[in-house]
Amino acid sequence: MSAGNNSQVALVLFGPPGSGKGTQAKILQASLGIPHVSTGDMLREHVQADDEIGREVKAIMQSGRLVPDDLVNRLIEKRISRPDTDGGVLLDGYPRTLEQADKLTGLLRARGVAEVVVHLRVDYNKIIARLSGRRQCPKCGTLYNLASNPPKTEGVCDRDGARLIVREDDREPVIRQRLEAYERQTRPVLDYFARTCPRFYEVEGGDAAPETIAAEIRRLVGKS
Ligand code: ADP
């Protein structure tokens, strides 16, 4: 992101694991025409590549804890300096601690970019059901859910026929750890945004179809 363009927004999709941030981000990046930046995806790419960062974060991610602020802050700073974010950016899974929120506010202020925060509110029981039923295509990244959005053929991606996988951290004990990290480290960020961000919105993310929720978010952002 470079300075000086008033139409730029940094849309922060906020919510607990399983609230649908990734699904919304995929829909919105196409309709808003701004890139989807997910710290979870970036970190998983490093793990996949088995590089220095990947080796540092692998065990932390598998246990459901958060990786160090310094590391994600550096990844984000570098990522939003790339020119494809000049028209704005859609952040998914960042910021997740007060320290990260502080960093982001500083980065955006320096660029004159407005922060728009959308909190996807979803009932706790629904989250557990969603996460444990989640399946993903390792090839194209498409997300499925055994209950609400199953693939046409069991266990196989509709798009490219690859065998679907369960993410390492979508197993029961790790899910609990992720929700605990959310409550302890990330919920304070929500309170911080609710208090300080002039464009903070809450959207019910539990029942409606993903497209309907995305339309509501676009309306709030002012680009429907
Ligand atoms: P979810 O939102 O469903 O938990 P993500 O893909 O966003 O999934 O994150 C997966 C894991 O990656 C987290 O449990 C954490 O270990 C790590 N991670 C992702 N984003 C951050 C972040 N901003 N700060 C610290 N750790 C992160």
CATH number (domain holding residue 216):
3.40.50.300
Residue 87 to residue 163: CA distance in whole angstroms? 36
Report pLDDT digits (tens) over 20-29: 999 999 999 9
- Tell whether ligand 1 has an atom less than 6 A from the beta carbon of residue 16: no
Cα gap 206→213, rounded to integer Å: 9
pLDDT band, very low/low/confident/very high, at 6 (cuts 50, 70, 90): very low
Q: pTM of the predicted model, to two decimals?
A: 0.89
Q: Over the chain, what is the mean pLDDT?
A: 92
Number of domains within the chain: 1
- What would the pLDDT profile of 83-141 be if each residue is shown by its tens digit? 999 889 999 999 999 999 999 999 999 888 989 999 999 988 889 888 989 999 999 98
Instruction: Report the pLDDT value the prediction gives residue 90, as an integer from 0 to 100.
Output: 96
Please report whether residue 97 resides in a domain: yes
d(CA 125, CA 127): 5
Q: Is residue 36 within 6 Å of ligand 1 at its C-beta?
A: no
Mean pLDDT to the nearest integer, 76-80: 96
Catalytic-residue membership of 163 = no
Closest CA to 216 of 13, 39, 33: 13
Is residue 3 very low, low, confident or very high in pLDDT (cuts 50, 70, 90)? low
- CA nearest 177: which of 41, 16, 47, 20? 16
Backbone phi, psi, residue 14, to 5°: -120, 140
Q: CB atoms < 10 A from the CB of 137, how many?
A: 20
Give the domain range for residue 141.
9-221
Residue 207 · residue 121 · CB < 8 Å:
no
With pLDDT > 70 as the criterion, what percentage of the chain qualifies?
96
* 2, part of any domain: no
Catalytic residue selected from 65, 121, 126, 167: 167
Residue 149 falls within a domain, yes or no? yes
